Chains A and B, each alone.
Chain A
């Protein structure tokens, strides 16, 4: 005996239970006779939507929606790099400024121009500005550059918010310009407040979906090492100059003392000869000759003294000038070091503002370009499957 399931049992039972009443014929006639006497639904439109119409319309609208809704560019990951060389990695938006490297401080330009490190004849051969950092030196002097592109419904309001943020974090707005469609602003903020500033900017913009960021950084260790080396060199050179100046002065003093001693001896001898000439007129000729020699010698000594003074003054002036130049170089290097540290301590940034339309704004939250067509297609499919359902009238 064939086994049947409970469902088959009840299906057979149900079919078996379907039957007409005893007086079905009369009941049917009675029913049909009354059809014309009851209210009709004439004039009322019961137009039935064809099964294919709604799915086709949904598919059409889905395609239209996909084509017309602008694709919302998803924010790229924030790129943060710490390398010795610059890279730009952001997906560029239309109108977004390309990021350029933060410029290194112009080290040594003044000292190089002054050529104070080397003697005048060697001013063309100057030491290199930047050294290649050694591996053992793990110090970091990171200069961070930052750029962001903010999409907003109101450019001017967003710009004002960003300006308030920059100033609130101890920064400075360097330039700002806005129109109804776009805006641009450049600024600096302290590096120690930079991460907080970024968080606040994202929050003010309405979340990460409206902010495109790019961050790059460069280690100015090479420049710092270069500055340090030059500082050491310049200091050593300055010390050497000062030593030379001292030596010059002491040598000059010794020479002058010797010449003055010689001069005094000469004058004494002259006086002695003159006295002898007075006492011994008979030796006048010889003594006169001697006196002439002494006078000639005195003139030579005076000449030497003058020459020594002149030489000393010239050398002293030259060394003084070199010392002053070296001192200026030291001051310049200190200034450049300070400038470098100040540069590293701040983040140079820019924000580009771009107005987005309402659809793009909604798309940022709902991925509208994909979800709306998907919803329309699903609805169309659901309607199609439902409409294809067989009527209970099918026997």
Chain B
């Protein structure tokens, strides 16, 4: 789907087209929930924030303009704000990373890989983890990452590259 098709879809959602809204939900929900569960580390909390995020999307979809920000970045911005609000209520700034998540893969190699990633994530800072989540779970482009983190695109590329370097170093240590 090109950007033009995406804008057309959003326009239809803004006009109240249920089918278009369903498409939007179907495409974004796995990424959104995957991001939330990795950020919040709690199934129930993640589901609550997931619901709240979609409600807020519906509330403000008529205000959304395609210029400048992609719909994906916009929805995730709402989700990240909801996460921050949740932590504020809990008087914390981030989730307890040590809380292990249910494995989402079946095969042994994939499980091994997931465990390796978990180990790497445990040793990375929260900022680094956030970058990895946005890049690989939410499928953010560098432009979207730059907008989300309020940096320029080049800096976004550099940060992703550095995080991967650090992850590589951790992975090599843990071999």
**A residues adjacent to B (C-beta < 8 A):** 6-7, 9-24, 27-28, 30-32, 34-36, 38-42, 44, 46, 48, 50-51, 387-395
> Can you name the residue of chain A whose Cβ is closest to the Cβ of B160?
A7
Contact A23 B47 (CB under 8 A): yes
Binds A, one of B9-17, B78-86, B91-99: B9-17
A residues in contact with B5, CB < 8 Å = 391, 393
Contact B51 A30 (CB under 8 A): yes
| Of A22, A30, A41, most B-chain CB atoms within 10 Å | A41
Contact A10 B21 (CB under 8 A): no
CB distance from B25 to the nearest CB of A (A): 6
Interface residues of B in 133-172 (CB under 8 A from A): 135-137, 139-141, 144, 164, 167-168, 171
Contact B34 A17 (CB under 8 A): yes
A residues in contact with B171, CB < 8 Å = 6, 9
Contact B25 A40 (CB under 8 A): no
Q: A9-B117, A13-B117, A31-B58 are in contact. List 8 more A-B contacts (CB 8 A).
A: A30-B51, A32-B22, A34-B55, A42-B15, A48-B11, A391-B1, A392-B6, A393-B5
Contact B72 A392 (CB under 8 A): yes
Contact A19 B33 (CB under 8 A): yes
Contact B7 A17 (CB under 8 A): no
CB distance from A252 to the nearest CB of B (A): 113
B residues in contact with A38, CB < 8 Å = 58-59, 61-62
Chain B window 38-52, contacts with chain A (Cβ cutoff 8 Å), 1 for yes, 0 for no: 100001001100110
> Can you name the residue of chain A whose Cβ is closest to the Cβ of B35?
A17
Contact B70 A392 (CB under 8 A): yes
18 of the cross-chain contacts (CB-CB < 8 Å) are A6-B164, A6-B171, A9-B117, A14-B136, A16-B104, A16-B114, A17-B104, A19-B30, A20-B30, A21-B47, A22-B47, A27-B50, A28-B22, A35-B58, A51-B2, A390-B3, A392-B141, A393-B71
A residues in contact with B7, CB < 8 Å = 46, 48
Contact B104 A19 (CB under 8 A): yes
> Can you name the residue of chain A whose Cβ is closest to the Cβ of B65?
A46
Contact B70 A17 (CB under 8 A): no
CA distance A31 to B22 in the complex (A): 8
A residues in contact with B30, CB < 8 Å = 18-20
CA distance A31 to B59 in the complex (A): 11
CA distance A24 to B22 in the complex (A): 12
Interface residues of B in 97-129 (CB under 8 A from A): 104-105, 110, 113-114, 116-117
Contact B15 A16 (CB under 8 A): no
A6-B167, A46-B11, A48-B7 known; A27+B137 contact, CB < 8 A: no
B residues in contact with A21, CB < 8 Å = 29, 33, 43, 46-47, 50
Contact B21 A32 (CB under 8 A): yes
A residues in contact with B135, CB < 8 Å = 10, 14
Identify B54's interface contact among A17, A27, A50, A387, CB under 8 A.
Answer: A27
> Can you name the residue of chain A whose Cβ is closest to the Cβ of B20?
A35
> Can you name the residue of chain A whose Cβ is closest to the Cβ of B48?
A21
B residues in contact with A10, CB < 8 Å = 117, 132, 135-136, 164, 167
CB distance from B140 to the nearest CB of A (A): 8
